[in-house]
Structure formats: structure tokens, C-alpha cells
Amino acid sequence: MQDASENGGGAEALRRRVGTFLFMAVFLFYFISLNPFFDLTGTAVLDPSAGNSNFANQIVSLLLFFSLLTYGLLHRMRGVILQPRLLLATLFVWFFGISLISAHPMLGIKGTILAVMVTINASVYLLLPASERHFARMLGIGTLFALGLSYYGILFKPTLAIHQASELREPMNVGLWRGHFPHKNSAAAAMVLAAFFGFFVMNVWSRLAGLTILALSFLFLIHTGGKTSTAMLPAILLLAWIFENVRFLRIPIAVGGVALFNFVAVGAAVFRPLSEFINQFGVDATFTNRADIWRFAFSAIADQPLTGYGFRAFWQTSELVHSGGSVETWAVAAANGHNSYLDIALMTGVPGLLLTLLWVIILPLRNISHLPPEAEHSHLTRLFTRIWLYTIFTAGLESLFFEGGNTLWFMFLVAIYGFSFQASAVLTPVARPKPQGIVAHA
């Protein structure tokens, strides 16, 4: 969303077409992937050494990355790429360093490189639309296409779009919708994002398209069985409204709210009195058996609190899965820690956690406090706020941070850069179009 010069119309038209193509390509890559309707009945899903990536995925990822980087470097606002550079350089150098001394250095090195690439992608992404309306239109079309594909799966590929009893990892999910996504939880998170997009599209581009997105995403969300995401959708809408309109509650909501949420959830796994107290309210204090994983993670963090075990070098490693620890707890076979904050501390130590918190919570709060009046209550800022709040709270129950191919993580980074651009007046809502030329930025 950038200023469009009224001179050089041909160059601007070309840049708009290129921006549109890259925007849609990246959106569909994250929301649909190259391998939709993944078969969960194959034995590969139980193999800890089997990655989610493949050669075609790697090639497309690299092509998109270099295309976005080239677009960004040729853009007159290329200075926004990978900001704030000092903080991110410190963060990623730390990740790289602790990976070198870990038991699996190549996992950490590859993970760090991928994290940098995704961050660069997100920092360029908001430079692609030519206007706020253009942004909303592309977002709406992409979301409708993704929703249509998921419903196509439900109607015509139900064995691949609905969890089956024959699945090897979690047969208890039988009957729950996942669409073209690999799991009901990832589908539920995507539907929450789609609902946020629906509100934005309804107010900026098309009321009909926005309402359609809202209806389709909410119906699908209900059928995923994702209790957390379903409950959080109205909760985040309310919380975001309070956050936007009651300024003095912003820090308590973002910092205190996340701290309290993690204390209650994770603390219940460690402190039995707290667990018993939560159970009194009819809430599952194990949070769907996450308590065993969190207890195990806490004990592992206590052994190596400074450097952790290396980026991407703990969960699903052959040493852990085949260590024989399953006699004591099944958590050794867990795919991840189901808590982003715990996972970062586990993999990168307390310094890595502090640097991450500074980037994903403190810095956005600072940028929000610097928003100009016309941006503070705009539809664009409201969209970013909803995505940001949803992610930092969901991170207390799911592992999202630095997950390269994760849809929510990518959109979370886009929201963080959206705050940064808004605060520096790179993105400014337009009250009316210019009489000539392309409309200025959103």
C-alpha cells in the first residue's frame, strides 16, 4: 500500500500487476499450500523424521522469496524491509549461535534461515497492494477461493477433508472438518482469520463478499470442533474493541492478559492447587492433555535455561522420541510443546524468549501508541489488531512462533509490520480518491 505517482502510468500499471500477482501467489501458498487434502492415514504421519516439506515446496518457497525480495529492493520504500534490523539481527544471530552448539545444528540453521525468509516476505507483503481497496479486494478474493476449496473437499473429498477413524495419529477427531488443511486446529485458526478478513472486506470493498466470507468461515469453524478458536473469535472481537477504545487498558490486555492466560493454563500443569481450582469451574485443567507436555517442557527448560536445546532441535528428534522416556510420559513423542512461549524458551533459552517477546508484544504496543489519529480507528488497524491479539493469546495453547509455513504466523508478522507502517505513516487510510492517476495507499 504505497503512494502511486501520477507520472509514469505504464510503470505504475506494471508494478500494480506484478504486486497483484505476487500478493495472490503468496496468499494462496500460505492458505492452501502445494499439498492440500493431506492423507492422514499414511504411516508417514507417524515418522518423526518425515518433514512437511518437499522439493516442489522448497522451490516455490524460494521463488516467492526472491520475487518478493526483488520487488521490495526495487521499491522506493525498501528501507522498511526486515525492520527493526538491530533487534532482528540480535534475535536471529542468537538463534543461529545456540543452534551451532546444539545436538542438531543443521536443524537450527535451516530453521533460522527459513524464519528470516518468512520475516522478509511479511515485511514486503504490504508494499504489494496499490490501495486499501485493492488490498481488501485481493484479500476477499483469496479468502473466498480458499473457503470454496475447503467446502469442495467436504462435498466431494470427504475422506480427505473430514477426519476419519482410520487416521493413525488422532482417530478421536473422526467427523470433524479440516477441509484442505492438514488438521482441524489449523483449519479452525484459518477460519478465525477468514472471519477477521470478512469484517475488513465488508467495510472496505464489498459488503456482500464480506458477509459471505463471515457466514462460510463461521459455519466451517463450528464444524472443526476447535473449541479454543470458536470461543476466541467473539472474545477477540470484544477484546479488540476494548483495546482500540480504552487506551489505558492496552498494556494490561496485551502484557497482563497474555501473562495471566499462560499462568492459568501452564501453571495448572505444574501447581496442583491451581489445577484443582480450575476444575471447580468445569474447565479441563489439562487443556486437552497438554499438561503432560508442559510439565515435561518445564523440567527440560530447568536443565538448560540459558541456551536451550537449539532452534528446532528438541521435539521430534530421534533421541527424544526413542529415548525410552515414554515409559514415564507420552510427552516425549509430542510434535511440539503446544505453547509458543514455552517452546521458544525450550529451544532458544530465556534470552531467546525475551528477545521474541520484545519483538512480538512490546514493539507492536510501542508502534500502536504512535499511531496518528486517522489511523488509530481505521478498518486497517482494526484488522491488524484482531490478528495480533488472536495470535498472542492462541500462542498460549499452540506452537506458532517461527513456524515457517504456518498461515497464522505469517499473517501475524504482516499485522506487526502493518502497525509499524501505520505508525511511520507508510500506510494511511484514504478518505477519497485522487482525481487522476492511481489511488494513493491504504
The 10s digit of each residue's pLDDT in 6-28 is: 444 688 888 899 999 999 999 99
Residue 285 DSSP code: T
CA-to-CA distance for 261 and 265, rounded, in angstroms? 6
Angle at 353 between CA 348 and CA 357, to 5 degrees: 150
pLDDT digit string (tens) for 207-234? Answer: 999 999 999 999 999 999 988 899 999 9
Confidence label for 112 from pLDDT (cuts 50, 70 and 90): very high
CA-to-CA distance for 367 and 365, rounded, in angstroms? 5
CA-to-CA distance for 255 and 362, rounded, in angstroms? 8
84 prior amide bond cis, ω within 30: yes
Grid cell at residue 232: 476466541
CA atoms within 13 A on the CB side of 177: 23
CA-to-CA distance for 115 and 402, rounded, in angstroms? 6
Of 59, 379, 436, 376, the C-alpha closest to 202 is 379
Check: CB of residue 108 under 8 Å from CB of residue 313: yes
- Is pLDDT at 426 greater than 70 in this prediction? no
Q: How far apart are the first and last CA of the chain?
A: 5
CA-to-CA distance for 52 and 35, rounded, in angstroms? 10
Specify the amino acid at residue 215: A
> Going by C-beta distance under 8 Å and a sequence separation of 6 or more, which residues neighbour residue 342?
266, 294, 297, 298, 301
Q: Which stretch of 49-63, 280-294, 317-331, 393-407 has the lowest confidence by average pLDDT? A: 317-331
Between 4 and 38, the more confident residue is 38
Helix 184-204 × helix 227-245 angle, to 10°? 40
Q: Alpha helix locations (H) across 52-131?
A: 55-74, 85-100, 105-125
What's the average model confidence in pLDDT over 244-265? 92
Check: CB of residue 374 under 8 Å from CB of residue 429: yes
**Torsion angles phi and psi, residue 150, rounded to 5:** -65, -45
**Torsion angles phi and psi, residue 206, rounded to 5:** -140, 120
Between 244 and 442, the more confident residue is 244
* Chain centre to alpha carbon of residue 71: 23
pLDDT attached to residue 337:
83
Of 214, 218, 236, 221, the C-alpha closest to 186 is 221
Place of cell 479452525: 188
CA-to-CA distance for 325 and 320, rounded, in angstroms? 8
Check: CB of residue 46 under 8 Å from CB of residue 169: yes
CA-to-CA distance for 382 and 384, rounded, in angstroms? 5
CA-to-CA distance for 404 and 65, rounded, in angstroms? 12
pLDDT attached to residue 293:
85
What's the average model confidence in pLDDT over 128-134? 94
- Is pLDDT at 328 greater than 60 in this prediction? no
**Torsion angles phi and psi, residue 177, rounded to 5:** -75, 140
DSSP 146-163: HHHHHHHHHHH-HHHHB-
CA-to-CA distance for 181 and 164, rounded, in angstroms? 14
CA-to-CA distance for 240 and 136, rounded, in angstroms? 20
**Torsion angles phi and psi, residue 32, rounded to 5:** -120, -40
Q: Which stretch of 189-203, 265-279, 398-412 has the lowest confidence by average pLDDT? A: 265-279
Check: CB of residue 203 under 8 Å from CB of residue 210: yes
% of the chain with per-residue pLDDT over 70 = 85
